[in-house]
Chain A
């Protein structure tokens, strides 16, 4: 008889962190730099739910059928812990879908491209509005920081309590640091 490992061991405890930011800001790269598995892609078929959720301004004749792709990865941690990283669907008209992703999440990393700062506004508004712990990670695409962090903080209008840091989505050590910051922030919130 074949062995049945899954019915004889305890299920891992699952936690998740959401990786948000604008389109093509490096979310998949970020996830891939640290995930045990190659980033996977899932899709949620959207129907008329998308009507009325409109951050783009004025566009109302929404397609009734569209598909939202979402990338994610998984990291096994000691103590039978599985950490999932979920990348949010890029376009802000899919913000309503994020509720599904952030439910029970430790917090979020908002990836920022300083060349396209406005792209991360919906993510920041979203997490601020819902009181979800998040850190801002400025992605240095070429390994060079073009802006001072305090200038970015001011431009984004985020409070002192929100950690902001440089990151390099390709570098495991950098993404690791961003994830650590989110967990630390979540812990501070619980303690306070």
Chain B
């Protein structure tokens, strides 16, 4: 994996970026497929991965504790959503990280509205009511 040179610098403070945000992605942008709420989790290979940029290390660390969303990664890493999307895609391609199927993409026999089934909504309703 060819990580951009600019991303290799010592970032010192946790999360704070000292280079242009998209330098850590090698200037690439990615908007498809990864929703703000899409969950990811670190795979075994990701736990022992070496030679990664601080940003990628941080992502694997966070996603190694529990499932975590793109939005949460963005908040914890203090990087824009778009940057996180690219880095997550990279880590997924390297099989360090698993992208979970989005709830809206789950096939279900029931009548659906954007992937949201009646039974799913019923569970959500009961869950909120019980809070």
B-binding residues in A (CB < 8 A): 2, 4-7, 11-16, 34, 40-45, 67, 70, 72, 74-75, 77-79, 81-84, 86, 100-101, 103-104, 106, 172, 176, 179-180, 183-184, 186-187, 189-191
By size class, the interface of chain B is 35 or more
Query: Which B residues from 107 to 131 make CB contacts under 8 A with A?
Result: 111-118, 120-131
Assess the B69–A83 pair: CB atoms within 8 A.
no
Assess the B128–A40 pair: CB atoms within 8 A.
no
List of B residues within 8 angstroms of A11 by Cβ: 39, 41, 67, 100-101
9 contacts between A and B (CB under 8 A): A11-B100, A15-B116, A40-B71, A70-B71, A82-B39, A83-B127, A83-B128, A100-B36, A186-B113
B54 within 8 A of A: no
Which of A7, A40, A106 is within 8 Å of B41, CB to CB? A7
Assess the B75–A40 pair: CB atoms within 8 A.
yes
Assess the A176–B128 pair: CB atoms within 8 A.
yes
B72 within 8 A of A: yes
Assess the A77–B82 pair: CB atoms within 8 A.
no
Number of A-B pairs whose CB atoms are under 8 Å?
144
Known contacts A4-B47, A14-B103; A77/B67 CB under 8 A: no
A-binding residues in B (CB < 8 A): 21-22, 31, 35-39, 41-44, 47, 63-67, 69, 71-72, 74-76, 80-83, 98, 100-104, 106, 111-118, 120-131
